[in-house]
C-alpha cells in the first residue's frame, strides 16, 4: 500500500473539514500559492525549509493535529539541500551514489593503473640500466697524488667488463676488482686513463692527474 506524501496528508485534512484554500489562508496567513504548492508537493515553488516546516506546524495547529508525524513524513520524503531548500530524496540518492569513490569499477581501474605503472616503471628501469655506462670505481691513485715511478692502480667494475689502463688491458678478479702498476719514469705531471667497456659496448672512463717525483 502506497503511503501518502506530506502534501496529500495536508490536502486530505483540509478536504475532510470541507475547507477551501482561501479559508485556510485566512486562518493561517500562509500565502495561497505556497499552500497550493505544499499540497501538491511542489517544493521547488516553496521558500527555504525553515519556512516550510513553519507552514506545516501552523496547518497542524489549525487542523488540531500533532505536527511531529507530519514533520516525520516530510523528512522521509524530502531532504534539505546545501542551499536550504527541500529536495525530493529520489533526486538526492543518485547524487550521493555517484559521489562514492571506492566502487567496484573504481577499484578495477585502480588495480589496472597500478599494474600499468608497475610495468612502465620496470621498462624504465631496464631501459636506464641498458643505457647507462658500466660501473667504474677507482680506489688508487687519488687526484693530484704525489707518487714514485711505479704507480699502483686499483678499482672495481663489472665482472664481465674489459678494463684497460693507459690503453693496456688489465685482468679482473671474479668480483670485478682490478689491480695493476703503471711505470712512469719521468718526473712531472701525468694523466692516467682507466677505461671499462661492458658487453653492450657502453664505456666508462676515469682520468686521474698525478705528480711523479723520483
Q: What is the 3-state secondary structure (H, E, C) of 58-118?
A: HHHHHHCCCHHHHHHHHHHHEEECCCCCEEEHHHHHHHHHHCCCCCHHHHHHHHHHHHHHH
Q: What is the pLDDT of residue 123?
A: 86
Pairwise pLDDT comparison (200 vs 28), residue with the higher score: 28
Q: What is the pLDDT of residue 91?
A: 52
3-class secondary-structure state, position 187: coil
Distances (CA, A) of 112 to 22, 107, 108, 119, 123: 64, 9, 6, 10, 16
DSSP 19: -
Q: What is the pLDDT of residue 44?
A: 87
Alpha helices in the chain (DSSP H): 6-16, 21-28, 32-39, 49-63, 67-77, 89-98, 104-131
**Rounded distance between C-alpha atoms, residue 158 and residue 162, angstroms:** 9
- pTM, 2 dp: 0.43
pLDDT tens digits for 58-87?
999 999 999 999 899 888 888 888 778 888
Which residues lie closer than 8 Å to 30 by C-beta, 6 or more apart? 24, 38, 55, 58, 59
Do strands 146-147 and 203-212 pair parallel, antiparallel, or not at all (unpaired)?
parallel
**Rounded distance between C-alpha atoms, residue 14 and residue 44, angstroms:** 22
| pLDDT surpassing 60 at residue 93 | no
Q: What is the pLDDT of residue 80?
A: 82
Amino acid at each position: 500500500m502506497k503511503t501518502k506524501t506530506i502534501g496529500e496528508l495536508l490536502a486530505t485534512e483540509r478536504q475532510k473539514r470541507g475547507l477551501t484554500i482561501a479559508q485556510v489562508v485566512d486562518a493561517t496567513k500562509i500565502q495561497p500559492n505556497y499552500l497550493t504548492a505544499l499540497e501538491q508537493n511542489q517544493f521547488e515553488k516553496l521558500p527555504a525549509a525553515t519556512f516550510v516546516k513553519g507552514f506545516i506546524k501552523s496547518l497542524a495547529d489549525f487542523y488540531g493535529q500533532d505536527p511531529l508525524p507530519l514533520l516525520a513524513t516530510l523528512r522521509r520524503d524530502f531532504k534539505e539541500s546545501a542551499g536550504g531548500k527541500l529536495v525530493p530524496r529520489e533526486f538526492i540518492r543518485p547524487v550521493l551514489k555517484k559521489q562514492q569513490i571506492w566502487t567496484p569499477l573504481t577499484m578495477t581501474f585502480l588495480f589496472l593503473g597500478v599494474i600499468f605503472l608497475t610495468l612502465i616503471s620496470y621498462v624504465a628501469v631496464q631501459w636506464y640500466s641498458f643505457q647507462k655506462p658500466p660501473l667504474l670505481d677507482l680506489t688508487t691513485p687519488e687526484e693530484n697524488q704525489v707518487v714514485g715511478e711505479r704507480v699502483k692502480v686499483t678499482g672495481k667494475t663489472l665482472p664481465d667488463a674489459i678494463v684497460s689502463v693507459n690503453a693496456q688491458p688489465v685482468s679482473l678478479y671474479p668480483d670485478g676488482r682490478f689491480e695493476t702498476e703503471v711505470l712512469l719514469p719521468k718526473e712531472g705531471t701525468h694523466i692516467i686513463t682507466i677505461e671499462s667497456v661492458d658487453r653492450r659496448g657502453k664505456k666508462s672512463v676515469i682520468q686521474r692527474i698525478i705528480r711523479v717525483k723520483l
